[in-house]
Amino acid sequence: MAKTVRQISTRAGKRSRMQEAHDSFVFARHLFMVVIIAFIIILTGVIITLGPLDISVAEAYRALIDRLYPGYFEVEPLTSRVVWNIRFPRIMGGILAGFGLGICGCVMQAVLKNPLASPFTLGISAGAQFGVSLAAVIGISIVGGPYLLVGNAFLFALLCSGFIIGLAAIKGATSETLILAGIAVNYFFSAMSQLFKYFADDEQLRLMTSWGMGDLAAFSWSKIPLILAVFGICIPLLMLKAWDLNIMTAGDDTAKSIGVNAEHVRIFIMLVSSLVVATVVCFTGTISFIGLVAPHMARLILGGDHRFLIPASGILGAVVLIAADGVAMNVIAPTVIPTGIMTSVIGVPFFMYLMLKGRRKEFWA
């Protein structure tokens, strides 16, 4: 009887209890996006205050706004210079790196249908590390000067993923092919890097090791436009595939039956995300935790719709990365702990909390 009444009321235009529940869920998804964007803005202001020079949160925001709208606020020149030239570029770099790695982790997990996939599954980090080793030990690089290491890291990161994608295009782009090829390439380039380490002197060894730990120190305003340009092209392309990624989690056969060419989408996503990851990794080194865990955090909170999941993974990746970097810079100042180490130290407990308290059956189904 109750069911009949509900059906009649639905026909009359009134929304059913489940429709209302769904509306609330969709509203909560949008609200969550707004909240994490607001949170990252607040977090940025807080992190700017951390450092040897005392700056309040209000001063930090005033200094940032003053640069965008000169004369709007009165800001001390020293504060302005410290905020704009030292602290904010590093945070901006962290936001971009975390955003890129989070997004790429999310799309990689979807196309490889594997919760353990990350932006580095295709051997990008091993390739980049090899490029750095090559430049550091032998001095061979495609570009010289300040881009000696960065240029090589970028080139070899792309070479690695390009090789795997090429292989997959010839042999069939199944997720198993890509993961196995990625593992093989990872082992090969890791072994080559180890070989270089074996012959490296102390200074070369220090350079290679610190790059491998991942750090945001390389970011400055001169690098950010390049990253923004790559992101500006690549991330909308990834977002456009959000529907297809939703469908691909149901398997290739289902994807094809609903009109999605799974192999083509997989190769496209790999190509675009490799470009994003190579752009990030050549500046930051290997920060592996973000791309693996940020998508899971987003999935636990938002469910499986990639239209929300992709941007949320990026923003959560940025939040974790800049929070970890803020702690890494200041916890035992003046010593700076490499960001890659601190992201795991900060992120793992948070992730474990979400796994234990969250809707864990939303994934691993």
Partner 1 sequence: MMIQLQAKGIEFGYNSSPILKDVSFEIGPSKLVTIVGPNGSGKSTLIKCIDRIISPKSGSILIDRKDVNKMDRMEIARNLSYVPQSSARSFSSNVFDTVLMGRRPHIGWLSSSDDEGKVWEVLRLLGIEDLAMSSFGELSGGQQQKVLIARALVQETKVMLLDEPTSNLDIWHQLDVMNIVSDLVRKRRMTALIALHDLNLASKYSHNIIMMKRGRIMAVGDPASVLTPENIEAIYNVEVAVRTQSEAPFIVPVKQIKTNGTRPIPDNRPFTNGKSKSRFPHSFFDIKEIKLA
Cα torsion 126, 248, 293, 187 to 10°: value is -20
* Smaller CB separation from partner 1, 112 or 327: 112
Cis peptide preceding 334, ω within 30 of 0: yes
Number of residues that bind partner 1 (CB under 8 A): 41
CB 278 within 8 Å of CB 128: yes
How many C-beta neighbours within 10 Å does residue 218 have? 16
CB of 180 to partner 1, least distance (A): 17
Nearest to 286 by CA among 357, 363, 344, 221: 344
Q: Does 180 bind partner 1 (CB under 8 A)?
A: no
250 or 271: CB nearest partner 1:
250
Asked if residue 84 binds partner 1 (CB under 8 A), the reply is: no
Question: Which has the closest alpha carbon to 312: 33, 92, 117, 96?
Answer: 33
Residue closer to partner 1 by CB (options 202, 361) is 361
Give yes or no for residue 77 binding partner 1 (CB under 8 A): no
Of 130, 299, 319, 347, the one binding partner 1 (CB under 8 A) is 299
Count of all residues that appear for the chain in the document: 365
Stretch that binds partner 1, among 12-20, 94-102, 190-198, 318-326 (CB under 8 A): 12-20
Q: Considering only residues 44, 49, 79, 109, which one is a binding residue for partner 1 as defined by CB under 8 A?
A: 109
The answer to whether residue 32 forms part of the interface with partner 1 (CB under 8 A) is no
With binding defined as CB under 8 A, does residue 251 bind partner 1?
A: yes
DSSP sequence for 111-158: HHT-TT--TTTTSHHHHHHHHHHIIIII---SS-GGGHHHHHHHHHHH
Quick one: 197 or 256, whose CB is closer to partner 1? 256
Residue 158 binds partner 1, judged by CB under 8 A = no
Instruction: Provide the minimum distance between the beta carbon of 253 and partner 1 in the complex, in angstroms, as a whole number.
Output: 5
Of positions 62, 87, 90, 113, contacts partner 1 by CB under 8 A: 113
Q: Which stretch binds partner 1 (CB under 8 A): 13-21, 87-95, 270-278, 324-332?
A: 13-21
Identify which range of 38-46, 83-91, 113-121, 272-280 contacts partner 1 by CB under 8 A. 113-121
Per DSSP, the three-state class of 361 is helix
Q: Which two tokens stand for residue 276?
A: 């994003």
9 binds partner 1 (CB under 8 A): no
Contact between residue 214 and residue 285 where contact means Cβ atoms under 8 Å apart: yes
**Tokens matching residue 47:** 């992190």
Angstrom distance (rounded) from CA 101 to CA 263:
23
In the chain the first and final C-alpha atoms are separated, in Å, by 35
State the minimum distance, in angstroms, from the CB of residue 250 to partner 1: 5
- Cα–Cα distance for residue pair 80/262, rounded to 1 Å: 50
Q: Measuring CA to CA, how many Å separate 158 from each of 129, 151, 165, 176?
A: 12, 11, 10, 20
Choice from 35, 53, 191, 240 touching partner 1 (CB under 8 A): 240
DSSP state for residue 136 in the 8-state scheme: I
Question: Is residue 18 involved in binding partner 1 (CB under 8 A)?
Answer: yes
Least CB distance to partner 1 at residue 230 (A): 22
Longest dimension (CA), the chain: 82
Residues contributing to the site for partner 1 (CB under 8 A): 7, 10, 16, 18-19, 21-22, 25, 109-110, 113-115, 240, 242-244, 246-247, 249-251, 253-254, 256-261, 299, 303-305, 307, 359, 361-365
